[in-house]
Structure 1
Amino acid sequence: MTRWSPRGHHFIGSYGLPAVTVLLFLVFSVALPDTFPTRDNVSSILSNQSIPALLALGATVPIATGKFDLSIGYGLGLAHVLVMRLIVDEGTPWPLACLAVVLGGTLVGVLNGVIVEFARIDSFIATLGTGSIMYAVTGWLTEGSRIVPGPDGLPASFTALYDSRFLGLPLPAFYVLAAVTALWVVLERLPFGRYLYVAGSNPRAAGIIGIPTHRYSVYAFAGSGLVVGFAGVLLAAQQQIGNPSVGLEYLLPAFVGALLGSTTIKPGRANAFGTLVAVSVLAVGLAGIGQLGAQFWATPLFNGGTLLMAVGLAGYAARRRLRTRGASDRHPPDDPPAPSASPAADSP
């Protein structure tokens, strides 16, 4: 009986999700030929999903080390409110306000990493606690009300961070592409990324070979905070008001993208292009069911179901890698056939 090739398993695991993305797009294009396969719809998807994509990339970095940053939704809300507060209420030039928020996000990430690694608090609990504190700070800054610009509005150069187009596509799409490329280089091409993966997969082995796992975990949380800070700047440019209740709704899609992304391209580990593919699946799926007239509860249902699928697939991929590795250790590749014995060897 013919056995399924491990190479075939690897191909499906690596590229099955991109194929699903293309299939979804084709299905919705057939179902909605007048609205879905249009340039305006594609531009809308790229623009609307830029912030969830950035957050998913931010969540990917700690996941590479085996940690989770649940504060990213709260951090997004605080970052965009702080940008608006600095520009509108304090009169800070917008480039300086954006830089301060991005640096502040990075420092918050460092704080998360220090709490997790040196206070030895589980990342779920630690980042949930710091996230709640950030939510309280957001409420304190806004006193529970929105920050609304004056009659002159926000500087046009600031809102252009989100509204502009480049090569006919929304500018935020290029932010996401740049972030994916940078994260791919860091994780796949630099020793820093390999150290993150080793620290996440086997901390004891990493410590034995001299990798400072605690330090690299702090670096990972700092990277997550930096991305969250930038996403908050982009959210402020998008909404053009400071809304203290915004942010938490981005948390679930970000983790769906990061966890589902670990099941594709590089199955079994968090990776930049996998996260991008996973976000694309979510973007196409949500846009399609929205245009089909789905009820408001369809979005959280889709996100929650996809998260469960992502966690299940991630666990399956990890178990399959272990089984494959164990099988290869027990059954090494067959030796090449021995050459035929020469007649001289058979002679007495």
Structure 2
Amino acid sequence: MRGHLIGTYGLLAFTAVLILVFSLALPDTFPTLRNLSSILSAQSIPAILALGAMIPIVTGKFDLSIGYGLGLAHVMAMHLIVGAGWPWPLACLVVILGGAIIGALNGVIVEFGQIDSFIATLGTGSMMYAVTGWITDGARIVPGPEGLPPAFTAIYGSTFLGLPAPAFYVLALAVALWLLLERLPLGRYLYVIGANPRAADLVGIPTRTYSIYAFTGSGLVVGFAGVLLAAQQQIGNPSVGLEYLLPAFVGALLGSTAIKPGRANAMGTLVAVAVLAVGLAGIGQLGADFWATPLFNGATLLLAVGLAGYAARRRLRSGASTRRERRRSAGVTGGRSETRPPSPP
């Protein structure tokens, strides 16, 4: 029981410990509403990407194109609004739907091309990077003197209840994915595919179709993150995107060790992102050098992969032990009595 509680809520408790440590070390700057708003604002896009990366991981696949997709989506949003003069709501809708289409294509390539998801999405990501360079011609897309529509920039820059609006986007997305994965048949099918694709086929689950659904959902989330990035940066930078790839996978993989240890889940990913956000903010305020951030992300990724593997193995051992106990109990209660009748004289 104690081990289960540690596995489920250990990462959440670690977040609380980090907050306490940094608050004691930086009492004038860290435990403030201004710092909280800064953390929520800065980490909203990595959090959304982590939730997007988590969806294919549920099925046992990886989408390495999300960083490239983020760069393409935000450049495309700027190109349509600034270069083509589209109304910003239409441009945002096209970019988000375009992200979903690219995600579906990733799924088709992986499932019907029978190409490993690492290789397939790395290849499509490289192609997306090429398209980004073609659109921008290697230069930044800068708005004219009139700037971007205020309503568009307000998507990222506005506040609600005193906190940045993007933080509520993250919360809404996490709740939506929690409902999808934990409460609807679609989520159960995705988990079955991730646990044992052959067993999913045998029970009649169309594994290819649902895997494509997972990649489509990931692309949809990446498109939305690209729109937010365009509203945040207010320029189209063709080199932006790859720097978000590592934090996204750290959050998604580390999240599989919390709340529902042993499997990727939305609330665990949210807790993992909180750990990363608090840790990066704390070491930044302590005056760490620029290389501390990639060092922290890389070390946390290795830790996340190790912990995720351990949690998965522990979950399998626990399930096997439970099945053995059930069979033993069934044998005792439903089997024949071991006592033989007395032999006749």
TM-score where L is the length of structure 1? 0.93
Matching residue's letter, 2:219: G
| Per-residue deviation, 1:334 | 9.3
**1:234-278 Cα distance to aligned partner (Å, 9 max, x none):** 000000000000000000000000000000000011100000000
The answer to whether structure 1 residue 64 and structure 2 residue 58 are counterparts is: yes
Q: What residue is the counterpart of 1:251 in the other structure?
A: 245
| Per-residue deviation, 1:324 | 1.9
Q: What residue is the counterpart of 1:84 in the other structure?
A: 78
| Per-residue deviation, 1:116 | 0.2
The answer to whether structure 1 residue 151 and structure 2 residue 151 are counterparts is: no
CA 1:26–1:208 in 2, change beyond 3 Å: closer, same or farther? same
Q: What residue is the counterpart of 1:135 in the other structure?
A: 129
| Per-residue deviation, 1:333 | 9.9
Q: What residue is the counterpart of 1:208 in the other structure?
A: 202
The answer to whether structure 1 residue 276 and structure 2 residue 276 are counterparts is: no
- Match among 162, 168, 189 for residue 174 of structure 1: 168
| Per-residue deviation, 1:118 | 0.3
**1:71-110 Cα distance to aligned partner (Å, 9 max, x none):** 0000000000000000001000000000000000000000
The answer to whether structure 1 residue 293 and structure 2 residue 287 are counterparts is: yes
Matching residue's letter, 1:48: A
Q: What residue is the counterpart of 1:314 in the other structure?
A: 308
Q: What residue is the counterpart of 2:340 in the other structure?
A: none
3-state secondary structure, aligned to 2:235: coil
**1:271-312 Cα distance to aligned partner (Å, 9 max, x none):** 000000000000000000000000000000000000000000
| Per-residue deviation, 1:326 | 2.6
CA 1:334–1:207 in 2, change beyond 3 Å: closer, same or farther? closer
Q: What residue is the counterpart of 1:11 in the other structure?
A: 5
3-state secondary structure, aligned to 1:86: helix
3-state secondary structure, aligned to 1:263: coil
Q: What residue is the counterpart of 1:103 in the other structure?
A: 97
| Per-residue deviation, 1:328 | 3.0
Q: What residue is the counterpart of 1:3 in the other structure?
A: none
Matching residue's letter, 2:183: R
Matching residue's letter, 2:223: G
Q: What residue is the counterpart of 1:39 in the other structure?
A: 33
**1:4-55 Cα distance to aligned partner (Å, 9 max, x none):** xxx1111100000000001001100000000000000000000110000000
Q: What residue is the counterpart of 2:45 in the other structure?
A: 51
The answer to whether structure 1 residue 303 and structure 2 residue 259 are counterparts is: no
Q: Which runs of 5+ in 1 are unaligned?
A: 1-6, 337-348
3-state secondary structure, aligned to 1:75: helix
RMSD of aligned alpha carbons: 1.2
Matching residue's letter, 2:203: I
- Match among 204, 208, 217 for residue 211 of structure 2: 217
| Per-residue deviation, 1:329 | 3.5
TM-score where L is the length of structure 2? 0.94
3-state secondary structure, aligned to 1:135: helix
**1:99-137 Cα distance to aligned partner (Å, 9 max, x none):** 000000000000000000000000000000000000000
